[in-house]
Structure formats: C-alpha cells, structure tokens
Amino acid sequence: MDDRLHRITKALEDADRQIVAALNARAKAIQEYNVLRTEAGDEPLRLPKKAAVIDAARALVDEFPAASIEPVFREVLSACTELITPDVVAYLGSPGGLAHAAAREYFGHAPSFRPTESVREVLDAVLHGHATFGVVPLETSTDGAVTATLRGLVSMDVKLCAERSAPLRYQLLSQSGDPAQVIKIYGAASAMADCERQLRSRYPDAIFVDVQSGEAAGHFALADDQAAAVGSALLRELHGLQLIDDRVEDDSGARTRFGIVGNRLPSRTGRDRTVLAMAPGDAPGALHRALQPLADRKINLTRIESRSSTTTEWQHVFFLEMDGHITDRDILAAVEELRRIARYAKVIGSYPRP
C-alpha cells in the first residue's frame, strides 16, 4: 500500500513539473512572438484564436475531465494575453455583480476589469478604445432580450463577438457566516427581487434594505456583524465575506445571456451564430419579403424579436439570430439581398456558438 501511494505521489509531482514546464514554454513562445511582432512593424501577425486552442485541447484530452478544459485553458490564455497586450474589459454594473462574474469566467483573471453604470458606457468604452472588450446583458430567462443592449448595438459601431450564458445565483454573506446573527439583509433592488420569497421564508424576522449595488451591500455586511449581504460568489471573494446560505434565488433555473462586444468579428469556425438587425419597412408584407432571402437559402433562423425604433424613418427594428457565419456564402448572399429589400440592415454579430 505504501509503495503504491509513493508511486501515485511521484506521478502527481512529475505531472505538476510537466505542467509548469509547459506553462514556461508557452510564456517563452509568447515572448518570442512579441519580438517577432516588433520586427514585423505593421505586418499583421495572428496567433490561433482562443476558441480554436480550446477545441484542440478538448479533442486531445483523455483522462482529464473534458468539461474542465475550457476554464483551465481560458486562465492560461488570459495570462498569455497579458504578456502581449493587457486587455481591459468593461462590464455593466458594480464589482462582484453578475456581469463582472461572467466577464471573469470568460476572460480569466488576467485582464483589468472596469465597472460601468450603463450599457451605453460599456459600448462607448469599446468603441473609443478605452476597453478592449465589453460585457453587457443580452437576455434574461425571466424578462427576455435587454432593450438597451439591442438599441446600443444598432446605434454604435461595435461588434457582438461572443456570448456567455450564466445562471442567476445568489448567496447570503456576512462577516461570520452565522445565520443566527442576521438582523438586517442588504442587497441591490434587483437581487432582492430575485430572492425575496426564499429570504422571507428563511429569515422571516430580518429587516430587508435595498441599496445601490451588491458592492454596497458587501460594505454594509463588513461594517456590521448583524448584517448580511445578498450577492454573488465573486462578491464573497472580493470582500472576504463568509457564506451563510447558498442558492437563495427564487428561480433556480433563471439564467442571463451576456454578450461580449469588441471591435472585430472572430473568424469562422463552422459552428457559428450571426445576429442581424433590420428594419423591413412598414408596408404590408414587408417582413415576409425581408425574410424570403433566408428561407430561399434554407438558413436556420433561431430567433426573431422586434423593438420599437428610435428613429422616425421606420416603426420597428427586428433582430434575427441564425446559424452560420457572415462569411458563409449563403448567409453573405442573403444579407446582401436583404440590404436591397429592407430599409435598413446591419450585421451586429457573428461568432462561435457557445
């Protein structure tokens, strides 16, 4: 038994050394790339896309859990990106909020994360180069598509280049983690609304207090040993709080789909999604005629949603999601035909399906 344990321990130590050696080799290759990029001047030199690297690693894995490949490699790739050009990621909301958590899960720990107060501020930061990427809510399972995001993507010249779906999960946090000490519960209004039934059932004598953000709730919980905060696991990490109660949200199946915005569309992968905004006009049959180029080419339309227009030129803008990449021949031809038919058409995203 001792011999077997010794062999297992040695195998783990050898594997760890190999992992560190591989990380060092990757960092050295990135440093060589930086030198080459300097020598190349304006000549574009592109490394493999993150999605392609993750897919290749997933295909190679044998004993290691395949589902864990993506988070592991995102951290490695994030750290390597930091060696090239540090990314700045703007996100909607306060530190520790759901958008911040989604940004961390997608980009890893290496980028600099910047909180903002509105969707437009996120998009503006990306548009003017103050942020490399932005993270904004696209859709919630309870309320549908987020109008501010859809309108912002129409009015501003940024690109939807990825998406991330995240469960709506909340925890109850405090200094001590002792539920018996909880007299007041602080949380952002949206979080309190999402958790009201569970919290009132579990803590019927507590006083509920709405505050501006989860971050503010975390500060109150740190300052008062009789206070607790409703927030994410990331809020717990950032503020050093203790867990009182996990999964305090009312709807355990609720999710938010976040959009990753940037200034360039990613390359085709063969399993992509394209998002189009178009205004077909207000004449009878206009929508039917606008959709005909897609139907003729048997393009799979997975979602269609409308929003009232902010301009007087047409009443509604329709948002279409379809399978395929904008560089696919059929989709490109359909979009070109649509632009001749509709009053307005704009590709706002084309990226690998999650």
Classify residue 272 by its DSSP letter: E
How does 312-344 read in b/e, with b if 16+ C-beta sit within 10 Å?
eebeebbbbbbebbbebeebeebbebbeebbbb
Q: How many CB atoms lie within 10 A of CB 80?
A: 21
Region 92-120: mean pLDDT is: 94
- Give exposure, 192-211, as e/b (b: 16+ Cβ within 10 Å): bebbbebbeeebeebeeeeb
Largest Cα–Cα distance of the chain, in whole Å?
Answer: 81
CATH number of the domain that residue 96 is part of: 3.40.190.10
CATH number assigned to the domain comprising residue 283: 3.30.70.260
Residue 133 pLDDT > 90, yes or no? Answer: yes
Number of separate domains in the chain: 4
Q: What is the pLDDT of residues 302-311, one digit of tens each?
A: 999 999 887 6
Same domain, 73 and 107: no
Amino acid at 239: H
Give the whole-angstrom CA distance, residue 265 versus residue 263. 7
Assess whether 239 and 317 both reside in one domain.
no
Q: Hey, what are 194's tokens? A: 């999402």
Here the CATH number for the domain that contains residue 38 is 1.20.59
201 and 271 co-located in one domain: no
131 assigned to some structural domain: yes
> Residue 314 phi/psi, 5° resolution?
-155, 160
Report the distance separating Cα 121 and Cα 134, nearest Å: 10
Same domain, yes or no: 185 and 231: yes
Sequence-ordered list of residues with C-beta below 8 angstroms from that of 315, at least 6 positions apart, any chain: 282, 308, 309
Decide: 123 and 137 in contact? Cβ < 8 Å: no
Q: pLDDT tens-digit profile of 170-228? A: 999 999 999 999 999 999 999 999 999 999 999 999 999 999 999 999 999 999 999 99
Q: Take residue 99 and report the two structure tokens written for it.
A: 């958008």
pLDDT value of position 246? 94
Whether 233 is in a domain gets the answer: yes
